Amino acid sequence: MRFPTRLLAAHSYFALLLFAAYVVVVAVIAVGVDVFGTLNRSAWEAAVQLPRWYALFVGVALIREYLPLYLAHGQTRRQFGAQAAVTIALFAPFLSALITVGYLLETLLYGLAGRPQVIDRVHLFTEPTQVPLVFAEYLVEFVAWIVAGAFIAAGFYRWQGGGLLLIPVGVGLWILVEGAIGKELRLPFIGDRLSGLSADLPQSTGLALGVGLGVFVFGLAATWAIIRDVPLRNR
């Protein structure tokens, strides 16, 4: 089994298909809002909350599904750990690039329709056409969500129910990254109740990238500490 190239290609292809379908769904919703109401802000900005959860479950799948599969086919844990890091390092920017393209497509469509593409949340960017800043922001977010997913999944794989104890750490990684970006802390069913936990960090692209790199290194190191000698489980 060729890893990580085959795994990376499969996930990238699937993400591309999901992206195409998601763009169509968001476009249909935006048209509906324009027909039956007032379309005066970016629909894509709201829609990109969901891909973060996809990134989280990619991280979970790396450990829960692919770790035992590749160990059973002759990979060592060290080989898997190193190549999983490569997969995350390449897949996160791929997802970020898709999100950036989505903003640009929306800019084009809103321009043709004569609608304002207003961004009403805090970001590293102020306009959706600021491609490097858009890419940097979502790169940092996707790195944090994938790494958090892998870290939490490693805890559940090794200790089963004991993995619950690692969830606050995974959430902490996300809070740190969101604080560096300057975003409000919002999750489904929780809303802004986590806002009081937000890290009070000065907002800058350099700091956000530095925090993202730190989360990437810490998260992978912590995940490796859990899986380095984990027994292969029968499911």
Q: CA angle, 182 as apex, 119 and 206 as ends, to 5°? A: 105
Domain ranges within the chain, ordered by starting residue: 41-227
**CB distance 147 to 215 below 8 Å:** yes
Claim: this prediction has a pTM higher than 0.85: yes
pLDDT at 218 exceeding the cut of 90: yes
**Which CA distances in Å does 63 have to 77, 170, 199?**
11, 15, 29
Q: Write the pLDDT tens digit of every residue in 182-198.
A: 776 655 444 454 545 55
Query: Do residues 93 and 134 make contact, with C-beta atoms less than 8 angstroms apart?
Result: no
135-153: pLDDT as tens digits: 999 999 999 999 999 999 9
Q: Is 150 helix (H, G, I), strand (E, B) or coil?
A: helix
Furthest C-alpha separation in the chain:
59
CA distance 124 to 143: 16
pLDDT at 189: 45
